[in-house]
A and B are shown apart, each in its own frame.
Chain A
C-alpha cells in the first residue's frame, strides 16, 4: 500500500503561493514548457478532466490546484525516475475559476493556468 505521508499543510492552502510554501518551494511563475489541458467550459463541475504535461527536465512533481475551491490543492503526484511527467485526472470545481498546474523541476516550481467556466447550462443553436 501507499507509504508516504499525506501533506496536511499543502492541502490546507487556499492559493498557489500557500501550496508552494507548504511544499517548501519559493514563488512559482508560468512557464511555456508546462502544458495544462482542461476544458474551456466544464461539462459537469463535479467531473472536470485535467491533464498536465511537463517538458522541463528533471520534473519530479506535478500538482493540480483550483484557488477558488474551498482548498486549493486537488492532487499532488510524485514522478519517479523512468515515469513521464504526463498525468491526467478529474476534479471538482464549485464555480468558474482558474485551474493551475504546478510542476517541480530541478527543485524549482513552475506553473501553467487556464480559466475553466462552470455554467448553469441550457439553451443552444
Chain B
C-alpha cells in the first residue's frame, strides 16, 4: 500500500533549524478488536531518521501509542537555507517512506 507524502517544514532562524513533520500512517495499536472480536494486529512506524544533507540530526524509535498520522518536531544547529532535509520512516511490517525538503 503506497503511503502519502509527508508534510515537512524546515525553517532556519538564527542558526537553528526547526523541523516539523506530519506523516501519514494508521498507527494501529494492536489493542483494538474488529467487529468480529478479533484483535487487529499492531501496525506502526517503529523507526524514524532525519538527515540534513548526509548528517543524521535525529533518530527515533516509536511504539504503537504514537498518534495516528504522527507529528514530530525537533531542532538542530548547523543547517543552512537551501540545505536538503530528509525524513525516513520504516514500520513494523517493513513498509518505508522517505521524503525530502529544502530548508527555508
The short answer to whether A and B are in direct contact, CB under 8 Å, is yes
Known A2-B59, A6-B61; contact A91-B88, beta-carbon cutoff 8 A: no
Q: A78 contacts which chain B residues (CB < 8 A)?
A: 58-60
A57 to B73, CA, bound (A): 21
Q: A74 contacts which chain B residues (CB < 8 A)?
A: 62-63, 65-66
Give the A-B contact count at a CB cut-off of 8 A: 113
**What number of B residues sit within 8 Å (CB to CB) of A?**
37
Rounded to whole Å, the gap between the CB of A92 and the closest CB of chain B is: 5
Rounded to whole Å, the gap between the CB of B12 and the closest CB of chain A is: 13
Q: Are B60 and A75 in contact (CB-based, < 8 A)?
A: yes
Query: For chain A, which range describes its interface: under 10, 10 to 19, 20 to 34, or 35 or more residues?
Result: 35 or more
Q: Are A82 and B76 in contact (CB-based, < 8 A)?
A: yes
Q: Are A83 and B88 in contact (CB-based, < 8 A)?
A: no
Q: A79 contacts which chain B residues (CB < 8 A)?
A: 58
Asked if B36 is at the interface of the complex by the 8 Å CB criterion, the answer is: no
Asked if B16 is at the interface of the complex by the 8 Å CB criterion, the answer is: yes
Known A83-B58, A87-B74; contact A1-B66, beta-carbon cutoff 8 A: no
Ordered nearest first, which 10 A-B pairs have the shortest CB separation? A2-B47, A83-B76, A2-B49, A88-B73, A84-B75, A90-B67, A76-B61, A74-B65, A77-B60, A90-B71
Q: Residues of B with Cβ closer than 8 Å to A?
A: 16, 27, 29, 31, 46-49, 55-68, 70-78, 88-90, 92, 96, 98
Q: A51-B73, A92-B66 are in contact. List 16 more A-B contacts (CB 8 A).
A: A1-B98, A2-B47, A4-B49, A47-B68, A49-B71, A70-B29, A71-B64, A74-B62, A74-B63, A80-B59, A83-B75, A83-B76, A87-B73, A88-B71, A90-B67, A91-B66
